């Protein structure tokens, strides 16, 4: 499926924040980011999956994780990841709600140790999009719709060259977006 220019979800403002009319869209700024290297172009979009607690959907765990507000007493898994400082630029919930945590101009901490086409440190030149999901359940049609529309906006604003999975840039270390992610429904650049 190729990226269709319409209907665009919105636009990216000068500060790197998405402005759109999608119902439920919001900005929740994360402290887990830093500056991209000077003159680094944004060429890659990395698709992830996440659910907190694992394999459970709809809670506030992901937003709490990305804003360092996860209560380690709320779930046994949360105690295991206590102190983890991670983020993503965008998060798409199962119902299609879109949240932006980090400006596209900044480096979100989503890819970790990674490599794409011989270049290491993919966080330097990528945008991370987390889909609420896991490796064992299919994603919702609305998530593909929002992802495609988001990538169209980002591609119109940045010189994106590819859309890849976390597993593509960190093979053996990461499995997401997982075997249930339908790449035929995903955006292609």
Question: Would you please indicate which residues are annotated as catalytic (active-site) residues?
Answer: 130
Asked if residues 57 and 51 have their Cβ atoms less than 8 Å apart, the reply is yes
Complete DSSP assignment for 89-118: SEEE-TT--EEE-S-TTEEES-S-S-EETT
Distances (CA, A) of 108 to 1, 96, 149, 167, 181: 27, 21, 21, 17, 22
What's the token pair of residue 111?
Answer: 């890819």
- Round the CA-based radius of gyration of the chain to a whole number and report it: 15
What's the token pair of residue 135?
Answer: 């490796």
HSE, CB side, 13 Å, CA atoms: give it for residue 154: 30
What's the token pair of residue 32?
Answer: 């887990």
Within 8 A by CB and 6+ apart from 26, the residues are 99, 100
Report the C-alpha gap between 127 and 104 in whole angstroms: 7
């Amino acid at each position: 499926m190729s990226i269709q220019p319409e209907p665009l979800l919105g636009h990216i403002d000068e500060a790197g924040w998405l402005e759109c009319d999608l119902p439920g869209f919001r900005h929740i700024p994360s402290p887990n980011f830093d500056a991209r290297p000077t003159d680094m172009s944004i060429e890659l979009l990395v698709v992830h999956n996440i659910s907190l607690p694992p394999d459970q959907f709809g809670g506030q765990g992901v937003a709490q994780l990305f804003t360092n507000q996860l209560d380690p007493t709320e779930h046994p898994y949360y105690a295991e990841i206590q102190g983890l400082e991670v983020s993503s630029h965008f998060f798409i919930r199962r119902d299609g709600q879109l949240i932006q945590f980090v400006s596209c101009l900044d480096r979100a901490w989503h890819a970790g140790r990674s490599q794409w086409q011989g270049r290491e440190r993919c966080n330097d030149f990528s945008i991370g999009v987390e889909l609420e999901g896991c490796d064992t359940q299919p994603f919702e049609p609305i998530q593909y719709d929002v992802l495609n529309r988001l990538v169209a906006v980002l591609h119109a604003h940045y010189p994106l060259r590819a859309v890849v999975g976390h597993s593509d840039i960190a093979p053996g270390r990461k499995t997401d977006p997982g075997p249930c992610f339908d790449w035929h429904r995903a955006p292609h650049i």
